[in-house]
Amino acid sequence: MIEIKKLKIKDYLIEDIEIIKGEKIGVFAREAEVRDKFLLSLAGINRNYDNCFFKKENLYDNKAYFQNRIYLDCQEKYLETLNFSKIADIINTKFKMKIDRAYLAKYIDALKIRGECEITSTYKYIFTYIGNTLINLGLAFSTGKNLIINNPTIHIDDEHKSDEEYIYNELKNYTKLIVLGINNLIQLKDLLNRVILFTDFNEVIVFNPKKDNLYIIDNCNIVNELYVFKCKDERLIIKEPPQETLKRLRRQKLNLKRISIYEIEKYL
Amino acid sequence: MKLKNIYNSSLFKLIMVVLLCLFAILIAVSLSEREEQINFVYLVYLLTSISIFTIGYSKMASIVTLGFGITRYETYRKFNISLLFIILYLFLFAIYYNLLYYLAYNKNIFDLGLLILLSLVVFFSGQLGMMLGNLNLNEYFSSVFIVIIIFVSILEIFVFNYKIYINFFLFFASIILIVINYALIKNIKIEKFI
């Protein structure tokens, strides 16, 4: 569906990635700017030099592609009302996009978003930070299009566990393509088919959380080619080494521990 | 078609708004006591220039529009077509105003050169706003440009009299800006310049 070939984002070169229908892909980078730029290029908003394709056509400013996908950043404010009919009408008038009103109404009720906003005397809705994230996600789901969402769980903290679970299930059950610019990996545990990692060493790794493993290791200069991230305590996160290298590392009595990709944030 | 449907239709509302505007201008001219009043058509043109500049800027800088599936090229095309229609409507409005003025005071204040100049100011402002939006230039910094354009236009209306030269300049500058805008929408990255 989407092909990326030798796309350059800052100091990173993304070699070859093919994204197929219905996949759930995460994009993780220590620098938010890298993640933002990658998502903007993938959404066709930022120009590329013939590096990103949708059905063999460059996807930059491509009408067919734009009609199939929606890009939004949950940090931004898109809506000033909770009236689902009004939302649907405005989106339809401005962007010629159909919204599933019944779904949106159900979503607003289920997550009790009314409790996350203040209504001014001029009937303007001012959402709390979490309210803004929730309504943005609701809007995205109700379009039924392929989704490219930046910061999907921003401001959803442990105090809102039920909201987090609801969003998780909605993401899991969504049948179209989802690309998420990840702000918090652990909240998306076991959801993603692939994670595109922008490492601290100017490399881009496409990681399959179900198959591939990461290791955390004491700082050393033995496996430079496997480095992924530098930890805050001077240790290193590395890709899974080949069996022989693994044995060699163990012989050298280096502390080596296998970790899930969803855990890496606590070490960074 | 039911009466309620006609009343709610957008075409009916549009026609009523136009008729109300024409009537309001008629009343304004009829009630005016000063024959030498400043031709307020100029003011309408200049205010339109500011609005068009702002719309051009905000439309092209809007990541929301792009995120929700409207391509830059579509925005560019629709904006330019709307701009031409706005200039046409303003021109018709100016003719109507001058006609009423002539009927009321038996005095011809129609100045084609000045109307062409003001139409080009509107067009140029729109193109410039779009270009600055494409470049994602800081909005406060961008607004300096429109202040300069309006200031020069006011000088041209009331002080100087180089309409032909300025018309040529604005015409060619607008054409160049159209080409620049087209090139920009084909090769843009969203980044803050200033």
Mean pLDDT for the stretch of residues A88-102:
91
% of chain A at pLDDT higher than 70: 100
Q: What is the CA radius of gyration of chain B?
A: 19
Name which residue leads in pLDDT, A174 or B193. A174
In chain A, which residues have their Cβ closer than 8 Å to the Cβ of B186?
47, 61
Best CATH choice for the domain A2-197 from the list 3.40.1280.10, 3.40.50.300, 3.40.640.10, 3.40.50.620: 3.40.50.300
Q: State how far residue A235 is from chain B, nearest Cα, in angstroms.
A: 35
Mean pLDDT for the stretch of residues B115-139:
87
User: Is A45 in contact with B68 (Cβ distance < 8 A)?
Assistant: no
How many CB atoms are located within 10 Å of the residue A44 CB? 26
Mean pLDDT for the stretch of residues A22-51:
92
Mean pLDDT over the full length of chain B: 82
- On the question of pLDDT at B36 being above 80, the answer is no
> Residues A142, A100: contact at Cβ < 8 Å?
yes
Mean pLDDT over the full length of chain A: 90
Mean pLDDT for the stretch of residues A201-206:
92
Flag whether residue B11 sits within 8 Å of chain A, measured between CB atoms: no
Residue type, B114: L
In chain A, which residues have their Cβ closer than 8 Å to the Cβ of B70?
66, 95
The pLDDT-based confidence of B63 (bands split at 50, 70, 90) is confident
Per-residue pLDDT of A158-199, as tens digits, reads: 888 899 999 999 999 999 999 999 999 999 999 999 999 999
In chain A, which residues have their Cβ closer than 8 Å to the Cβ of B63?
45, 73, 76
Cα B177 from chain centroid? Answer: 16
Instruction: Note the pLDDT of residue B79.
Output: 92
Where b means 16+ CB within 10 Å and e means fewer, A151-184 reads bbbbbbeeebeebbebbbebbeebebbbbbbbbe
Mean pLDDT for the stretch of residues A11-21:
92
DSSP code of residue A112: T
Query: Closest chain B residue to A58 measured between Cα atoms?
Result: B186
Instruction: Note the pLDDT of residue A73.
Output: 94
* Whether the predicted interface score ipTM is above 0.90: no
Residue type, A11: D
Q: Using CA atoms, how far apart are residues A160 and A155, in angstroms rounded to an integer?
A: 9
- On the question of pLDDT at B139 being above 90, the answer is no
Name which residue leads in pLDDT, B176 or B4. B176
- On the question of pLDDT at B191 being above 60, the answer is no
> Would you kindly state where each structural domain of chain B is located, as residue ranges?
1-31, 39-186
Mean pLDDT for the stretch of residues A79-92:
90
Instruction: Note the pLDDT of residue A152.
Output: 94
Per-residue pLDDT of B141-185, as tens digits, reads: 778 888 888 888 777 777 777 777 888 888 888 899 989 888 888
Instruction: Note the pLDDT of residue B165.
Output: 80
Per-residue pLDDT of A242-258, as tens digits, reads: 888 888 888 888 888 88
User: Is B69 in contact with A96 (Cβ distance < 8 A)?
Assistant: yes
Instruction: Note the pLDDT of residue B37.
Output: 59
Flag whether residue B141 sits within 8 Å of chain A, measured between CB atoms: no
DSSP code of residue A114: G
% of chain A at pLDDT higher than 90: 57
> Residues B150, B46: contact at Cβ < 8 Å?
yes
Flag whether residue B190 sits within 8 Å of chain A, measured between CB atoms: yes
% of chain B at pLDDT higher than 70: 90
Instruction: Note the pLDDT of residue B108.
Output: 78
- On the question of pLDDT at A111 being above 90, the answer is no
Contacts of A79 (CB under 8 A, 6+ apart): A87, A125, A127, A135, A136, A139
